[in-house]
Structure 1
């Protein structure tokens, strides 16, 4: 009866095991997400700023990954936690960036747009070159593991991508100056595109694909990418605005279609830019800005509530999952801890490079700004301190393992991992203390732009409550935070009277 053995049962059993492993892997991810949200809520409720939500998520991933690493966990389950760069760039990053643009207050962002571009383009370029040169000189002087010069520049490019998610959340919680928030936020979004462009250019130079490129062409290429990405994002945003205004989708039986289209347009913008060889990050950011101020108002009231809640929900999930995902992979990956000197001196060098970035660019910006628009020294120090490294640097470092020889790529990846963990946990945890020491907490009324924005925010909240629309923050908490921290006492008194008159608050 040999013919009966032609179809062995092994493939079916193997498929069943893979499905079971997938279920267990997804279950663990959901459990870690639930734990992160609950722990983050408890920490935020008790105003425990020494362990922000992003740091708590990273720690949870590290702990669970460490436990899985020392246990006899099946290989099939572990594969569900591997950090894939494509999954990060195509699925996790877009909703985070879109929500950033969608919830952005445009006045401080565009009022500081020249400074933001200076920090993001020139500053990132300076930080990359300074880091790369110092790492190369450190290797030549036998202070650390020696890398070729182009590979040092690749490391400088990837490690210059800042990701101040933790810092910005504390900025919002404590109520810092809107101009400072706009500078930190704008730089972090745009310098990601610059860092990716620099890294890819240096990688192509290293592989001798285009060895004739020089640094001037890098800047020209980035400007082309930036302008093209911004144009595509703005174009998609205005296209959606025209569609929602004239297609008549705001009737009851078409609200489902309206919501579906509003969710699809951001991804269309991101994938369009990526397909054209541009920056999806920049494109979806400007799509979010345009759609909030032109498309959102053309939606029906129910669709507006759904869109605002949906993008806030999906970005929160993606952001939390990124840090869990990263922490788990850090614990599970093979690292090269034999070059501790490379890690130590790299941390020192990026601190120096960040200072060269911030203070030189701030000096140039202040040269062309009037006296009342100058970036003060304590804001410059806050900018310097807020240069955390996060998921973008980690994803590029993981890519360098494939792009570089085994020893070199592994050393860069291990150093980047250590830098990400240290900056997120130590700098993120000390951000509240830093803001108080620099006296930037609650100084939103220092400049005319900050005062105008705080009044505008309060007026928007009053108007939303007056017409019965849902407010993004609780009324009593909002009054406490903005009236007592940002507005003058007499202005607060007048606005309080107006608030009570229109809302009936006691």
Structure 2
């Protein structure tokens, strides 16, 4: 009954906030829901400290929700599949080299840069932290969130090739980030001396390559089944079963579910829809678009309501603000270096580095990974800092990426016109 009560609360709040945002705020849905949820949570925190019984009851309901399990094992698989399903596979294929480089090399480089800078600066606040825990933070905060990216950047007026790079990177680098996080967490739990280099590498490869292999199998198998029939009800049900069953299978096989769902979504979106009737395509697309919108709304409302139960002290808030700068600097370097190398083989627009850096939004995945940390680790510190970075990313970067893209594009057009021969 508690689960039903929590789900009902989230659904009612999400619907109310979606209405208020559409009716009055006119913000992108991701940002509007987060703003309203945060403001409501801050008001409820104040009332809770005054001992208002109803608010304390709401906090208890929110506390019963396992955010990590709900997002990582339930919601994320469906949202990543939907993102892959609607991604233009042909355009992604043309941008495969920068997408794969940024989502792998870039994520690893960002993880190390964030960890090193945090390890150096935390003692200045009287909060020295072992390097392995700094690596955990670097791994959980480095992936750009596909849910936040898909909800904001696709409406920001960014040039199509650059949009494909950002969205494609975000769909893959969260899977890579989850794999890095799981590997570092195993080392932190067992101790570096208890695990060999071979064991750590084997764990990483099993998660990463196993996830890709499972996604390929699910994608091609699902496409074969979809092509063999023509019934939109059965075909929608098949896609739903593929995601639910595939994510459970990934957990059993100890492979990366996020990577598997991204691969399956891209393949079915490219191959499976080839022989679909127009009616089936319409129903499949609308079903997954609607499901994605509902889960997206629930996710960002839940992130906002987490303020009711998180222990974020003023010191953690200050460290979080510093971490915002560190994360952005690491993003700049981890994107700039790969682009500098790749530019030797292909051309990028002048604004690519700026947009890729500022458009690297963090979201629910980072919060979920931080909340999964055991209490024996510096969980409160890492959760608090993560939350500050994520809120800044979605509210500040999310609200400004569109105007920034338009400004840079206009500036580029004026420069091109000025250099034209008269």
Tell me the TM-score normalized by structure 2.
0.87
The verdict on how the C-alpha distance between 1:177 and 1:206 changes in structure 2, with shifts beyond 3 A counting, is same
Rounded Cα–Cα distance in structure 1 between residues aligned with 2:153 and 2:323 = 27
Rounded Cα–Cα distance in structure 2 between residues aligned with 1:283 and 1:242 = 17
Rounded Cα–Cα distance in structure 2 between residues aligned with 1:25 and 1:417 = 21
Rounded Cα–Cα distance in structure 2 between residues aligned with 1:440 and 1:211 = 55
Does 1:382 find its partner at 2:350?
no
Instruction: Select 2:85's aligned residue among 83, 93, 102.
Output: 102
Aligned to 2:40: 64
Rounded Cα–Cα distance in structure 2 between residues aligned with 1:195 and 1:170 = 21
* Long gaps (5+) in structure 2: 417-422
Rounded Cα–Cα distance in structure 1 between residues aligned with 2:131 and 2:55 = 41
Aligned to 1:125: 108
- Mean alpha-carbon deviation: is it higher for 33-42 or for 264-273? 33-42
Rounded Cα–Cα distance in structure 1 between residues aligned with 2:224 and 2:139 = 39
The C-alpha deviation readout for 1:424-472, integer Å capped at 9, x for no partner, is 11111111221122217999xx9xxxxxxxxxxxxxxxxxxxxxxxxxx
Instruction: Select 1:422's aligned residue among 361, 376, 392.
Output: 392
Rounded Cα–Cα distance in structure 1 between residues aligned with 2:96 and 2:104 = 12
* Long gaps (5+) in structure 1: 1-18, 447-506
Larger Rg: 1
Rounded Cα–Cα distance in structure 1 between residues aligned with 2:309 and 2:411 = 39
The verdict on how the C-alpha distance between 1:227 and 1:78 changes in structure 2, with shifts beyond 3 A counting, is same
Structure 1 position 349, deviation (Å): 1.3
Q: Contact 1:269–1:287 (CA<8 Å) still a contact in 2?
A: no
Does 1:359 find its partner at 2:336?
yes
1:210-359 aligned within 5 A: 211=193, 221-246=203-228, 249-250=229-230, 256-359=233-336
The verdict on how the C-alpha distance between 1:109 and 1:143 changes in structure 2, with shifts beyond 3 A counting, is same
Structure 1 position 224, deviation (Å): 4.6
- Mean alpha-carbon deviation: is it higher for 155-164 or for 113-122? 155-164
Q: Contact 1:267–1:284 (CA<8 Å) still a contact in 2?
A: no
Q: Contact 2:172–2:262 (CA<8 Å) still a contact in 1?
A: no
Aligned to 1:161: 143
Aligned to 1:201: 183
Structure 1 position 122, deviation (Å): 0.9
Tell me the TM-score normalized by structure 1.
0.73
Look up the SS of the partner of 2:190 in the other structure: coil
Rounded Cα–Cα distance in structure 1 between residues aligned with 2:356 and 2:132 = 28
Structure 1 position 164, deviation (Å): 5.6
The verdict on how the C-alpha distance between 1:144 and 1:438 changes in structure 2, with shifts beyond 3 A counting, is farther
Structure 1 position 139, deviation (Å): 3.0
Rounded Cα–Cα distance in structure 2 between residues aligned with 1:305 and 1:441 = 39
Structure 1 position 233, deviation (Å): 1.2
1:391-406 aligned within 5 A: 391-400=364-373, 402-405=374-377
Rounded Cα–Cα distance in structure 1 between residues aligned with 2:9 and 2:274 = 40
The verdict on how the C-alpha distance between 1:270 and 1:396 changes in structure 2, with shifts beyond 3 A counting, is same
Structure 1 position 267, deviation (Å): 2.3
Structure 1 position 129, deviation (Å): 0.7
Q: Contact 2:144–2:170 (CA<8 Å) still a contact in 1?
A: yes
Aligned to 2:406: 436
Instruction: Select 1:151's aligned residue among 111, 133, 137.
Output: 133
Rounded Cα–Cα distance in structure 2 between residues aligned with 1:216 and 1:338 = 39
Structure 1 position 269, deviation (Å): 2.4
Aligned to 2:420: none
Look up the SS of the partner of 2:254 in the other structure: coil
Q: Contact 1:232–1:283 (CA<8 Å) still a contact in 2?
A: yes
Instruction: Select 1:37's aligned residue among 18, 21, 29.
Output: 18
Does 1:28 find its partner at 2:9?
yes
Rounded Cα–Cα distance in structure 1 between residues aligned with 2:249 and 2:355 = 36
Structure 1 position 395, deviation (Å): 0.7
Rounded Cα–Cα distance in structure 2 between residues aligned with 1:271 and 1:399 = 18
